[in-house]
């Protein structure tokens, strides 16, 4: 979408400033540029177009702002600050004042803090975790805190450089774009940190829905998958259940989901036992391993099943089998793929049927494990973080810090 410009009219001074922007730019980002160019704090800015105030999450295009249109800037009075309390005799100072954080190692930082009693007295109130690391005989513990501090300093320096460029040339489109990206990444990072704090379960691995069942008196762990069109079973599982002789090979075909699998045929009717109740089911048999037995939407509909996540059970007939916890599943199932993807196809002889298959958990880059373990994180936490971050070392480190220290 081509860039255009808007004219910012300062209502109090009458000054006008053109700003080059994309028409789909958010108002919040425009205010950030105004803060740089006009030295007006973002919190004091109120933008109006056609007598209506523009909200931070509005975009220019959605509010009908056109090329070279005038947007009025009305500055609100700054919020009154509360009177400062009586300052203690010892004035606190930033613990990083005077420290070139980008050119210091863990041992040097430890020594610097230990030699400054004023800083050591501040740490119990400002960063008790860092205080423990400084007092620990192993200086490598400080590395866990030093790395994120260095990354924050790099970000601050990049942002300061962008501000300088914009002050020198308010029409520097490249600098405007870079600043927008900085703001965007900051918002994304804050969003992730809020999610880690308020919904940490969203970063864990979800245990899929399995129940205990029997087919031809053979105990199985049945995977409940309402996203799969057909109920399927692997060839090996069908052999173990002694039902291979029931397969109708006229219903051969290819199942397509994530990847493909050959359909050996169809078992039109066999009995599945859940609890004390017998249920007639139809099974499509695949010539592959992996998922042993999956109850798809066809059988869930036939037996009027209800997936009850509040009670953690499946309602099927008069039975309410509990969904199995991760510890109740065999090891080969626990290492199965976590997420399912399905294709919808028409049933029929030699037809394509969807296979519940999932994208594998991210393959961990072993070269990234050692640096994080050396920082003091447990290997299991490191592996979890690398899988979550798709082998992004910085994101994995932030993940470990959140999990271990709540930072």
Superfamily of domain 210-334: Acid Proteases (2.40.70.10)
Q: What is the pLDDT of residue 368?
A: 81
The angle formed by the CA atoms of residues 21, 26 and 30, to the nearest 5 degrees, is 55
By C-alpha distance, which of 160, 289, 305 is closest to 225?
305
Please list, in sequence order, all residues whose beta carbon lies within 8 angstroms of the beta carbon of residue 33, skipping any fewer than 6 positions away: 19, 166, 176, 179
Distance CA(249)–CA(222), nearest Å, equals 24
Q: For the chain, give the mean pLDDT.
A: 79
Q: What is the pLDDT of residue 349?
A: 40
Question: Is pLDDT at 341 greater than 60 in this prediction?
Answer: no
- Residues that are catalytic: 225
Question: Is pLDDT at 355 greater than 60 in this prediction?
Answer: no
DSSP secondary structure string for all residues of 252-273: -EEEEESEEEEEEEEEEEEEEE
Distance CA(407)–CA(400), nearest Å, equals 9
What are the start and end residues of each CATH 2.40.70.10 domain in the chain?
210-334
Question: Is pLDDT at 186 greater than 90 in this prediction?
Answer: no
Q: Among the listed ranges 78-87, 262-271, 292-301, which one has the minimum average pLDDT value?
A: 78-87
What is the average pLDDT across 306-334? 91
Distance CA(379)–CA(381), nearest Å, equals 5
Q: Is 206 exposed, middle or buried (0-12, 13-18, 19+ CB in 10 A)?
A: exposed
What is the average pLDDT across 50-76? 85
What are the start and end residues of each CATH 3.10.20.90 domain in the chain?
4-75
Question: Is pLDDT at 212 greater than 90 in this prediction?
Answer: yes
What is the average pLDDT across 93-118? 73
Question: Is pLDDT at 23 greater than 90 in this prediction?
Answer: no
Q: What is the pLDDT of residue 231?
A: 94
pTM assigned to the model: 0.50
Name the percent of the chain lying above pLDDT 70: 84
What is the average pLDDT across 70-98? 60
Distance CA(138)–CA(26), nearest Å, equals 47
Class of domain 365-405: mainly alpha
What is the average pLDDT across 90-100? 57
Question: Is pLDDT at 376 greater than 80 in this prediction?
Answer: no
- Using an 8 Å Cβ cutoff, are 78 and 44 in contact? yes
Question: Is pLDDT at 89 greater than 70 in this prediction?
Answer: no
Alpha helices in 199-234 (DSSP H): none
Q: What is the pLDDT of residue 254?
A: 78
CATH topology for 4-75 is Ubiquitin-like (UB roll) (3.10.20)
Q: What is the pLDDT of residue 95?
A: 55
pLDDT in tens, 278-310: 999 999 999 877 789 999 999 999 999 999 999
In three-state secondary structure terms, 389 is helix
């Amino acid at each position: 979408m081509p860039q255009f410009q808007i004219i910012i009219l300062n209502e109090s001074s009458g000054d006008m400033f053109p700003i080059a922007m994309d028409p789909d730019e958010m108002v919040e980002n425009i205010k950030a540029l105004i803060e740089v160019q006009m030295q007006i704090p973002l919190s004091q800015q109120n933008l109006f177009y056609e007598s209506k105030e523009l909200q931070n999450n509005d975009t220019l295009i959605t509010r009908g702002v056109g090329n070279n249109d005038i947007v009025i800037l009305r500055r609100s009075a700054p919020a009154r600050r509360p009177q400062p309390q009586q300052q203690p005799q010892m004035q606190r100072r930033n613990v990083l004042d005077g420290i070139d954080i980008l050119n210091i190692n863990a041992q040097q930082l430890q020594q610097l803090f230990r030699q400054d009693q004023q800083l050591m007295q501040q740490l119990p109130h400002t960063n008790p975790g860092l205080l423990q690391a400084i007092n620990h005989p192993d200086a490598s513990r400080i590395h866990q805190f030093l790395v994120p501090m260095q990354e924050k300093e790099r970000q601050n320096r990049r942002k300061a450089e962008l501000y300088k460029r914009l002050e020198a040339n308010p029409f520097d489109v490249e600098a405007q774009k870079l600043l927008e990206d900085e703001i965007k990444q900051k918002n994304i990072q804050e969003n992730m940190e809020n999610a880690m704090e308020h919904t940490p379960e969203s970063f864990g691995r979800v245990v899929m829905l399995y129940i205990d069942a029997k087919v031809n008196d053979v105990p199985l762990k049945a995977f409940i998958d309402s996203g799969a069109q057909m109920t399927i079973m692997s060839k090996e599982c069908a052999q173990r259940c002694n039902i291979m002789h029931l397969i109708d090979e006229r219903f051969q075909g290819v199942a397509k989901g994530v990847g493909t699998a050959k359909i050996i045929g169809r078992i039109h009717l066999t009995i599945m036992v859940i609890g004390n109740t017998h249920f007639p089911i139809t099974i499509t048999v695949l010539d592959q391993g992996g998922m042993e037995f999956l109850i798809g939407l066809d059988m869930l509909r036939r037996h009027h099943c209800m997936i009850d996540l509040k009670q953690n059970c499946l309602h099927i007939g008069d039975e309410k089998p509990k969904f199995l916890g991760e510890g109740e599943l065999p090891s080969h199932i626990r290492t199965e793929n976590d997420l399912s993807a399905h294709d919808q196809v028409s049933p029929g002889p030699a037809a394509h049927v969807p296979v519940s298959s999932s994208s594998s958990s991210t393959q961990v880059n072993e070269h990234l494990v050692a640096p994080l373990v050396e920082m003091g994180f447990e290997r299991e936490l490191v592996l979890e973080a690398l899988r979550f971050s798709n082998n992004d070392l910085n994101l994995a480190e932030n993940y470990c810090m959140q999990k271990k220290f709540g930072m």
